Every structure is written in structure tokens, then in C-alpha cells.
Amino acid sequence: MKHRRRLRGRFLPIGALLLAALVACTPGRPAADLLLTGGSVLDGTGGEALTADIAVSGDRIVFVGDAGASGLTATDTLDVTDLVVMPGFIDMHSHAELDTGHGRDARAFLYQGITTVALGMDGGGDPEVADRLARWTADGIGVNAFLFVGHNAVRRRVMGMEDREPSAGELDAMRDLVRQGMDEGAHGLSSGLFYLPGNYAETEEVIELNRVAAAYDGAIYDTHDRDLGAAYPPFGYLESIAEGIRIGEEAGTKVIFSHFNAQGAHNYGRAHEGAALIEAARARGVEVAGAHHSYTATQSNLRSYTIPGWAVIGGDMAMVRRFDDPDTVAVIDRQTREMLEIRGGAGRLLFADQRPDLNGKTLQDVADEWGLDAPATARRILRDGNAAVMNLGLYDIENVRYLAQLDWMMTCTDGRDPGPTRPVTHPRAFGSFTKKIRDLVLDEQLITLPHTVRSMTGLAADFLGWPDRGYLREGYAADITVLDVGAVEDMATYEDPHQYSRGTVHVLVNGTFAIRDGEATMALPGRALARGGKPFDAG
Ligand SMILES: [Zn+2]
């Protein structure tokens, strides 16, 4: 352990000399477990690729340089000439199902080169952070994972689905839950002010809760912001971004806008206006950033996309009671039509739901099948529970292209694994990172590979405040992705999403192969990471 600390942050020739000395001191014993030789190395800084060998021992990178010149040997040597070696990718907004029976290996993510995922997003993270981290540690997970404590989860627990301000006692109870999450290792507070019950909260409530997180070093406020461009009734695309910045700025945390983009045809071409607000905040010293992917469809749930918030006050049972009142239903249906218009119509809502009679069909398809109009169809579906749904064409590709070029834009999947009974899911779970490389780097040559890899690695690690992940450096965690870049391709489509990405040759998570020679090893080498990127210690 001691020599690793000395090696950290050093570069050739000092590192090479140290290792050469190490080898000389231990004749007959290999210096490293694994050596990747001859690869083109992108280290995560955004700098140009350099040819270098990389050695791994245990869970650490122990050498970056010319192994031959240093006399370095390893138990296992892989020639990666003609391949590009980079830090494992960090998915800044994920819905990977690491807790379920089918998503633990995280293969859809690993095949994109992802080695770490953020969970507890959109306000959904429970305050029992240590329980979840301990469960991952005990059961094993395919990728590293870290957590946020969620505003919606906390509010729902204290206040249910009430559309009102919290009492002083309720606010204190919510503060206690956020504090618990942070004490147990959360990276910060996430909110989903677009969703319920988060949408019932005033800005001040979120600031107050974010102040609790702000007491912890490096705390982050992660926002699925209130409007995103397509909320009903509209809060305002720019007003919503301003609110997110204010919540972090007043409380004193960093801010990240999740799946950042401008939704709705009325916002096509407007991403630069939202980005300008973020850049103004950055200029005055607020640490604000974003993460995005390059799909033009979203995925969420039918209730959020078709039922106005007032009709859900009190919860789903109360909503269904309102469906039974003819006067109320007339108002709901009129507003549902307005909501569908913002979203491009019922033909743009494609089900990605557990129910086989819905999965793969649009709301319009189901309406035609049932001989009902779209609002009545949505209500009938929602009587049996909320449904997962994609909204096709909600984002504008020009906005995507603009955002991809920004130097503060990280990358995320926002993706959820398909379940055994859910063959259709958003392809972003399988292809967000590889699609960004395929479309924007290789095909369009809009952004460079070093810039893109940085958006997936070092940029995220710096924002997270992690001292030993996100870069290919001696002493850092051996999360390593090796791509045959020319062959990189996202294969998942909206119709047939369950397709692993191509071009991913090797993926190491904490020094262990999760993918080797293009084949998933089904090892579970991921770690549960507490704040600061430190492996969770159940003790
Ligand atoms: Zn979200």
C-alpha cells in the first residue's frame, strides 16, 4: 500500500524508475498482475492519445509508460495495439437495476464501457443509503455504484402526496432524513421537481433540504428540473434552470442538471439559452454542470405525461376517484389533450411497460385497439397502475449537437435495464455512451474522441470530487475500458432495444475483467462507493 501512495500522481520517468527498482528488488516475481501493451491511451484529461503500456496490480493501476524500457513483466499480458485504452466511463444519471434479480451484472452498461453508475436520481433515493451500499457489497454488482438521497422519497415519507407546504415539524423530519442519507454516504440531494410529490414543493423547501447536504464536503445537488421544457402547466424552460441553479447557489452545493436538454418542439434550437444561464452561474463561481445523452426520446411514466398534477393530489387512489366524477374527468381530459399536444401527440408515446398488452405499442395504437380516445385510454391504463412510456422525438438533435460540444457537459444513460417481462425499454440503457461516440465523434466528426472520453471520465470524477478514479494514472483505481473505436456502435433501437453495443473489447472494474475479448465474464467486481468515491465500509 505504501509504495502505491508514493507512486500516485507521478509520471515517467520517476514512476518507471520506481517500478524498475521494485522489479529488481523482487527477482523472479512479476511486478504486475496484468499488462495492457501498445494501446493508444486517452487518460481522461481531454489531451491527445499517447501510445503507452498500462499495468494493473490488484485493484490499482500501477504503471503507465513503456513497460519494455522499464523491464516490467506481468502474470497476464494482453496486446492492445490498435485499440484505445481509456478510463472506465462514469454514468452520471442511471436507473440500473442493481438490486433486482436480473440487473445485477449490469451488462447493458458494461458493453457501453461504463464502470460506474449514479443511482437514487430524480428525487427517488431512499435515505437508507448504508443499507443499499451494504447490500451491494454483500451481493456483488457488475459496476461501481454511488447514491443520492432523494427529495421526492423524503417528502413522500413525511407528507404523502399532499400539495401544500410542510409544517415546521415536517420540514425538520425531512431534514433528518436527508441528514441520515448524507451521514450514510450519499453524494448529495437529488430532486425530481417535474415529478410528484416533488412538484408540490416550493423552491425554498428544496433549498432548506439542500442546506443539510451542503454541510458535507463536496455535496452535490442533482436536479431533474421542474419543467425541462414540457411541463404542464408550464413553469418555463429557463425559469426551471434558474430555479435549479438557485437551489444550489443559496444552499452552497454544486449543481448538476441531469439529462440536460430542452424538451418539446417549441424548444427546438433553444438549448443554448439554458446553457447560457449555467455559464453565467459558472462565471460567478457556482459549480454548475450538466450531463446528457444523444437520444431524442425520453422515458418516464404515463401519469406524469398525461395527468395534471392537481388530479393526483392525495395519491393514485384519489386520482382514480376523480376519474369516476364526470365533471372532473371532463377537465382532466381537456388538460390531458393539451399535455399530449406538448409531447407531439399520443402516437409519440411508446410503452416500455411490464404489461405485455402495452409493451411496444403507442398510446394511439392502444386507443385505436380499444376504440377510445387518447385521454380515456390513458385513464383506463392508469386505473391498473402507472405505466412506463417513452416520448419519441421530444428532443431536437440540433440541441443535442450543441450540448455535446460544451466543456462542462458530462454523459449519462438515464437508462433502466429491461426486465424479463419488459422486452421494450429505452435503448439508452444499452447505447447512450456508444451512440455518442458513433454518431457525434465517428460519423459526424462534430466532437473529438479525447473531448468525448473526458465527458465520460475525468470531468465527472473531478465534479464528484473523487481523488483516485476517472483517469488512467498510477495509483488510481483500475477501472479501464478498451475500445476498438472504429467498430464502436450502439445496436439498440426503439423497436429492438435489447442489443449490446459493439466495439467494447475489454472492460476492467477495480482491476477485474468484466468484459474480456468482447465477452462478459459475469464477474461482479463493482464496489459500492460512498461520498468521495471511497469503497463503502460496512463497519
Ligand atoms: Zn430524470
Q: What is the CATH number of the domain that holds 459?
A: 3.20.20.140
Q: What is the CA(298)–ligand 1 centre distance, in A?
A: 9
Same domain, 304 and 284: no
Give residue 427 CA to ligand 1 midpoint distance, Å.
15
Give residue 228's pLDDT: 85
- Mark the ranges of the chain whose per-residue pLDDT is less than 70: 1-30, 538-539
Q: How remote is the CA of residue 449 from the centroid of ligand 1, in Å?
A: 26
The CA 467 to ligand 1 mean position distance, Å, reads 27
Residues 127 and 276 occupy one common structural domain = yes
- 239 and 384 in a single domain? The answer is no
Q: Give the per-residue pLDDT at 354.
A: 85
- Domain endpoint, select from 334, 365, 391: 391
Residue 298, Cβ density class (10 Å: 0-12 exposed, 13-18 middle, ≥19 buried):
buried
**Distance in Å, CA 3 to ligand 1 centroid:** 42
Distance 122 CA to ligand 1 centre (A): 5
Among 351, 375, 391, residue at a domain's last position: 391
Together in a domain, 112 and 241 = yes
What distance in Å separates the CA atoms of residue 189 and residue 220, rounded to the nearest whole number? 6
pLDDT tens sequence across 506-517:
999 999 999 999
CA-derived radius of gyration, the chain: 24
Span from the CA of 495 to the centroid of ligand 1 (angstroms): 22
Centre of ligand 1 to C-alpha 35, Å, is: 39
Q: How far is the CA of 303 from the centre of ligand 1 (A)?
A: 15
391, 424, 456 - which closes a domain: 391
239 in a structural domain: yes
CA pair distance 423, 360, nearest whole angstrom: 8
Say if residue 348 is in the same domain as residue 409.
no
Report the C-alpha gap between 341 and 325 in whole angstroms: 24
State in Å: Cα 531 to ligand 1 middle.
21
User: In this structure, are 113 and 232 located in the same domain?
Assistant: yes
State residue 537's pLDDT score: 81
Distance 429 CA to ligand 1 centre (A): 13
By C-alpha distance, which of 183, 177, 186 is closest to 153?
177
How far, CA to CA in Å, does 454 sit from each of 59, 288, 471, 517?
22, 17, 9, 24
pLDDT, residue 494, reads 86
Query: Sheet holding 298-301: strands in order across?
Result: 298-301, 388-391, 349-351
What distance in angstroms lies between residue 283's CA and the mean position of ligand 1's atoms?
26
Q: What pLDDT, on a 0 to 100 scale, did the predictor assign at position 413? A: 97
130 lies in the same domain as 175: yes
The answer to whether residues 281 and 175 belong to one domain is yes
Which of 190, 116, 102 lies closest to 146 in space, CA to CA? Answer: 116
Tell me the DSSP string of 117-178.
Answer: EEESTTTT--S-HHHHHHHHHHH-BSSEEEE-EEHHHHHHHHHTT--SPPPHHHHHHHHHHH
**What does the alpha-carbon distance between residue 436 and residue 493 come to, in Å, rounded to a whole number?**
14
DSSP letter string over 67-121? HHHHT--EEEEEE-TTSEEEEPEEESS----TTSTTTTT-HHHHTTTEEEEEEST
- Tell how far the Cα of 474 is from the centroid of ligand 1, in angstroms: 35
Q: Name 40's bridge partners.
A: 51, 84
CA-CA distance, 214 to 182, in Å (whole number)?
Answer: 10
Residues 458-480 pLDDT 10s = 999 999 999 999 999 999 999 99
Question: How far apart are the CA of 228 and the centre of ligand 1, in A?
Answer: 10
Which one-letter amino acid corresponds to residue 206? V
What is the Å distance from ligand 1's center to 22 Cα? 48
- In the reported structure, the alpha carbon of residue 224 is separated from the centroid of ligand 1 by a whole-number distance in angstroms of 5
406 shares a domain with 371: no
In a domain, 68, yes or no: no
Q: How much distance in Å is there from the Cα of 109 to the middle of ligand 1? A: 17
Specify the residue for cell string 398488452: 357
User: Who contacts 59 (Cβ-Cβ below 8 Å, separation ≥6)?
Assistant: 477, 478, 510, 511, 512
Quote the ligand 1 centre to 150 CA distance (angstroms).
12
Residue from 303, 270, 296 nearest 391 by CA: 296
**How many angstroms is it from 198 CA to the middle of ligand 1?**
12
Give yes or no: residues 440 and 514 share one domain: yes
pLDDT value for 425? 83
For residues 189 and 211, give the distance between their C-alpha atoms in angstroms, rounded to a whole number: 10
**Residues above pLDDT 90, as percent of the chain:** 87
At residue 417, the pLDDT reads 84
The grid cell for 278 is 449555467
Q: What angle do CA 143, 136, 528 make, to 5 degrees?
A: 60
Residue 508 and residue 477 in contact, taking contact as beta carbons nearer than 8 Å: no
Q: How far apart are the CA of 299 and the centre of ligand 1, in A?
A: 9
Query: How long a stretch of residues is the chain?
Result: 539
Distance CA 455, CA 114 (A): 12
Spacing, Cα 93 to ligand 1 middle (Å):
8
Residues 225 and 349 grouped into a single domain: no
Residue 6 lies in a domain: no
Ligand 1 centroid, distance to 337 Cα (angstroms): 23
CA distance 41 to 47: 10
Calculate how far, in angstroms, residue 539's C-alpha sits from the geometric centre of ligand 1. 32
State the distance from the centre of ligand 1 to the C-alpha of 192, rounded, in angstroms: 7
Name the residue range of residue 150's domain: 89-297+393-535
Rounded Cα distance between 246 and 255, Å, is 9
Q: Is 256 inside a domain boundary?
A: yes
Gap from CA of 259 to ligand 1 centroid (Å): 7
E strand or H helix that includes residue 14: helix 14-25
Is 436 inside any structural domain? yes
43 occurs within a structural domain: no
Domain count, the chain: 2
Inside any domain, residue 137: yes
Would 33 be classed as within a structural domain? no
Distance 222 CA to ligand 1 centre (A): 10
> How far apart are the CA of 291 and the centre of ligand 1, in A?
11
Q: How far is the CA of 423 from the centre of ligand 1 (A)?
A: 21
CA 463 / ligand 1 centre spacing (Å): 19
pTM of the model: 0.91
Looking at the structure, tell me whether residues 286 and 327 fall in a common domain: no
Element (H, E) at 269: none
SS3 181: helix
Q: Where are the alpha helices (DSSP H) in 347-490?
A: 363-370, 374-383, 397-404, 428-435, 449-456, 458-464
- Ligand 1 centroid to Cα of residue 153, in Å, is 14
